[in-house]
Amino acid sequence: MQIRGLFHIHTTYSWDGKVTLDKLASLCRKERYKFIVITEHAESINDKVMENFIQKCESLSTGDVIIIPGLEFICNEIHIIALGIRGHFSQHKDVEDLINAIHNNGGIAILAHVSYYKEIPYEKLKNIDGIEVWNVRYDGRYAPSIKALRVLRKFKSLNNRIVAYGGLDLHNEHEFGKLSIVMEINDNKQIDYDTILNLLKTGNFKVTNNLIVINFNNISALSLMPIVILRLIHTPLHLTKKIVVKIFKIIQQISNLR
């Protein structure tokens, strides 16, 4: 069975989030999203709020929607998402220290919106578990940016096990569902917190904007070509959705043939 979910979501627990967690949970139920990865700004959270936030995620996670709590830290202007952490910890001055703290807390560390940075301190990020290659807020909803694809290639060359994600960076309700994560789950397997977190950690998912589907975690230089071409043509030509999908499929077929 295929299930879908949303990644990189801010709710009113973040200083700039406009949607409540309750509202998001009910939107997920209505639109049949099975999981949602919340990434609140760490500077908006203290120990007490963290406790309340985790409890709230648990109480809203009933059988049909799983809510995974996470935080987004800003450290030397680098944004790091922490998933699967159980407690709260204070800000760190150094990115490497922050990543270690996330690991010591049982979590995974993901570099958020890779196209946002002027320069990426690869040396400081050698222990990072994942990167958010496509972020709708910075890259748009049509295709990931060429810059981000270049960063993906660089990270993969440094560490082939790094997992690539696509996220919304949602702050407002109208952004809901523009980009989702789809994963395959055995029909007899329980859909629970651990199953979903595990598939997220291991990169067993694809990313879709409801037009094209990309598996960033099984990508060759050649299969990047359709995305690059799509990115180059869609803005200047103002193509319709239907044409974009058609062109993407044709280029994908051609590049697979070679």
Residues forming contacts to Zn ion in the complex (CB under 5 A) are: 72, 79, 112, 169
Identify the residue whose tokens are 């919106």.
113
- Rounded Cα distance, 190 and 213, in Å: 25
3-state secondary structure (DSSP) of residue 75: strand
Question: Least separation, in Å, of the C-beta of 131 and Zn ion?
Answer: 13
Compare residues 43 and 184 and give the one whose CB is closer to Zn ion. Answer: 43
Give the residue at shortest CB distance from Zn ion.
Answer: 79
- Rounded Cα distance, 206 and 221, in Å: 17
Nearest Cα residue to 69 out of 42, 44, 36: 36
Question: Least separation, in Å, of the C-beta of 149 and Zn ion?
Answer: 19
Question: Least separation, in Å, of the C-beta of 79 and Zn ion?
Answer: 4
Question: Least separation, in Å, of the C-beta of 118 and Zn ion?
Answer: 15
Compare residues 79 and 234 and give the one whose CB is closer to Zn ion. Answer: 79
- Residue 19: other Cβ atoms inside 10 A: 19
Question: Least separation, in Å, of the C-beta of 122 and Zn ion?
Answer: 19
Compare residues 129 and 169 and give the one whose CB is closer to Zn ion. Answer: 169
Are 152 and 114 within 8 A, CB to CB? yes
Compare residues 72 and 175 and give the one whose CB is closer to Zn ion. Answer: 72
Q: How many CA atoms lie within 13 A of 129 on its CB side?
A: 20
Compare residues 40 and 101 and give the one whose CB is closer to Zn ion. Answer: 40
DSSP 147-173: HHHHHHHHHHHH-TT-EEEEE--B-SG
